[in-house]
A and B are shown apart, each in its own frame.
Chain A
Amino acid sequence: MAEQDNQEKTYSRRKFLQNTGFALGGLIVGGIAGSLLKPEPEQAAPPPAADQQRDFNQAFMFFTQEQFRIVEAATERIFPGDDLGPGAKALGVAYFIDHQLAGDYGFNARDYMQGPFFPGEKVQGYQGRLRRREIYTIALREMQNYSMATYQKNFADLTPEQQDEVLRAFEEDKVKITTVSPSGFFKMLVTNTLEGVYADPLYGGNRNMDGWRLKNFPGNQMSYVNVIEQDAFQKIEPASLKDHLSHS
């Protein structure tokens, strides 16, 4: 695998926009835009190590402490830390989910939530009246109940294998509850976990862009005009939306 020098790939957005005439409200005329791309003369400052700076974003907007602990433990089983790299916990996925549920997404603000409500066919999609934050609240309580009933322990205190058993019981609808669909909730939890691993770190997950590093995804880059035809895999140091701002 040819690995290119990381720094070569860190373009300044501002410089790019100036070079291409966008910052002046103009339009690119003539020339190949790619050839105007110049490497930054100065290297971008390395991001401060996580513990050097207090992360004020890591507090709860929605979850209780108990809920947070369940989500943190469950998502770590869905996407565990291992020798390949960090898992959900280290990446801040539970904070990500907390923050999502506190806003539009949690309230289904842009979904059609008017009645009447009828159970539908599978091909008709979700037809419940509950909003995502309500589904989480109810399902997390049920996860706790199920853990207590089966193992006489809180979910977060179970062994990883036991936690997997509980998650599988939800995934396979073996948990008998009527308020929410156990498998529907489990699917949402998996989706939200992957979102928390790979969304821009601005949302509270994907800490230090380490989720992206797992996949060699370069995040927010200005241009791949010089990459697109390359046969060799290009390993590029990722950049975030925050990097965008610090350049402007």
Chain B
Amino acid sequence: MARKLPKVDVVIVGVGWGGGIIASELTKAGLNVVGLERGKERVTEDYYMVHDELRYALRYELMQDLSKETITFRSNEKIRALPMRTYGSFLLGDGIGGAGVHWNGWTFRFMPYDFQIRSQTIERYGEKKIPPGMTIQDWGITYDELEPYFDKFEQMAGISGEDNPLAEQMKAKRSNKYPTPPMKHSPAMRLFTEAAQKLNLHPYTIPSANLSAPYTNPDGIARAACQYCGFCERFGCEYGAKADPVVTVIPVALKTGKFQIRTYSNVRRILHTGGRATGVLYVDVTTGEEIEQPADIVVLTSYVFNNTRLLLLSKLGRPYDPRTGKGVIGKNYAYQVQKGQATGFFENKEFNVFAGAGSLGMYVDDFNGDNFDHSDVNFLHGGGINILQLGKRPIQNNPVPKGTPTWGKEFKAASIKYYTRALTVGTQGASLPYQHHYLDLDPTYKDAFGDPLMRITFDFEEQDRELSRYLATKSEEIMKEMGADKVEASKELGPYDITPYQSTHNTGGVIMGGSPDTSAVNNYLQMWDAENVFVVGASAFAHNSGYNPTGTVGALAYRAAEGILKYHQAGGGLLV
């Protein structure tokens, strides 16, 4: 029998961005909150030896230990799903701060079109434009309704940025300017900007959670400016310059005296009866003891996969059935389309590629969302086009022109020569959902506790291949304009492959929407089927945009926090 603890107001499962934001908002309002986190504690002092590419970027020091838990994957239902045994496609967070510790910090707001994608597509192109099997749907909220929460996240994190020149066309209003100015521009960024402008595109500096200047946020948290140290993506920031839950929201929650974090606490089940959660069951992984934590409200903030998995394991909510399209838990899993890009080789110019910051770069939205006419293309949505200056570390960056041998003397010479002479215009394409892309419990493979792993059934579709080609062509045009001596575009997407890193932008599984028939949570991320359970994260996304997810995750978390407070005050009931 599990040991039962005294009841608290709220229990949070996982303490990353989602958990940290919920904890800070609820404790500031006086609620007692317990945060259960399966991993360890983290502090800025941990990063004394952080400029170590092998340890952090290639041996995944900060990421989830796959020997204990992973996911399984298959391209479609005819194939046996097999475990992701080593890292590749995406990197899962673990420990206090979650993936928010080792993220890059590109902080976008999804655009108005995203939230009403289905109705706007039908309005502009007719229903036939949506290919069979594509399950895009409106999110049950509009950009304007979400705007104050985007702002809240940006003010808290101190996002450095400038206005998007297409904001007006996109109808993306801002109530406030970015709290800090845009990041510095490197020569590569200047080159890209000039080329894009010549092509009548509208480049802007990527909104960045690496601070361009020292900043004190509305909670009184002061942080240092970014040093462009070049060890950011996959690393923790030794300066606290990168917005990370550990240096922003978590200390605010702890200061109230109302937030208790329990590390090494792995949650296995949500306990519930009669459509209401009563608490959670977790294991103290240091002792193996099973513990029950009763709570009035349960908040899942354990990332896309475990948000979905815990609901399925706990038999809470209606599991999705890909045959009928009915049910909701596990529905609309989506990812990101990143293949389309163009690399340019410069014979007579060297760039300081070793320097950079996680979110340093330029972005172009002219081919993102519905910012261009889709009448003559065979895909919906689009993607952002970028140039990046993240800091190229030497093991992982060996760009060579096509036809160069992959090892030996010639490879050595070319990889050394072009290390400082190659730039890439990259793209980040939207990923739209299909009826047969989903998450469920794997029938065979288990985690360290014997619970089934999450199973992903996903592949790229014709939509994605068309989009990839389109964006690659646009990238190629920009790179040519930038004056590279040789330009190589990568156009063909191929099947989804779990082995190369692409992005940790997994979405869906517990999606939000306007109706319980088609969504799992309402626009406060409150479960339609269990009113005292809130499920926070990119799991709520009904599709993925041509942007990174976390700005929108943050906004939704602030909105969920407001919903939880309302729910707590009202003493129950659905908020929508």
Contact = CB atoms under 8 A, between A and B. Distances in A.
Interface of A: 1, 20, 22, 27-34, 77-80, 82, 84, 87, 104-105, 108-114, 116, 118, 120-127, 164, 167, 190, 193-195, 197-200, 202-203, 211-212, 214-225, 227-231, 233-234, 241, 244
Interface residues of B, number: 71
A84 B412 contact: yes
Contact of A217 (B83, B84, B394, B409): B394
B85 A125 contact: yes
B351 interface: yes
A229 B214 contact: no
A125 B73 CA distance: 10
B420 interface: yes
A45 B51 CA distance: 21
Contact of B84 (A34, A122, A125, A229): A125
B52 A200 contact: yes
Contact of B54 (A80, A122, A127, A203): A203
B224 A112 contact: no
Contact of A215 (B60, B66, B88, B416): B416
Contacts of A120: 80, 82
A136 B282 CA distance: 40
A215 B350 CA distance: 11
Contacts of B75: 121, 123
Contacts of B222: 27-29
Interface string B337-359: 00000000000001110111000
Interface stretch (B30-38, B132-140, B180-188): B180-188
B65 A219 contact: no
Contacts of A228: 184, 186, 228, 352, 355-356, 360, 389
A33 B241 CA distance: 11
Contact of B352 (A80, A220, A234): A234
B499 A123 contact: yes
A123 B495 contact: yes
Contacts of A231: 187
B355 A224 contact: yes
B403 interface: no
B38 to A, nearest CB: 15
B176 interface: no
Contacts of A197: 394-395
A199 B57 CA distance: 11
B398 interface: yes
A212 B82 CA distance: 38
Nearest to B222: A27
B395 A195 contact: yes
B85 A82 contact: no
A212 B394 contact: yes
3 A-B pairs with least C-beta separation? A224-B355, A223-B227, A28-B224
B355 A215 contact: no
A77 B67 CA distance: 34
Contacts of B444: 116
A216 to B, nearest CB: 6
A31 B225 CA distance: 10
B229 interface: yes
B529 interface: no
Interface centre among B70, B224, B499 (most CB of A within 10 A): B224
A111 B85 contact: yes
A82 B225 contact: no
Contacts of B51: 200, 219-221, 241, 244
B53 interface: yes
A109 B186 contact: no
A27 B354 contact: no
A30 B225 CA distance: 9
Interface centre among B54, B350, B356 (most CB of A within 10 A): B54
B445 A241 contact: no
B331 to A, nearest CB: 23
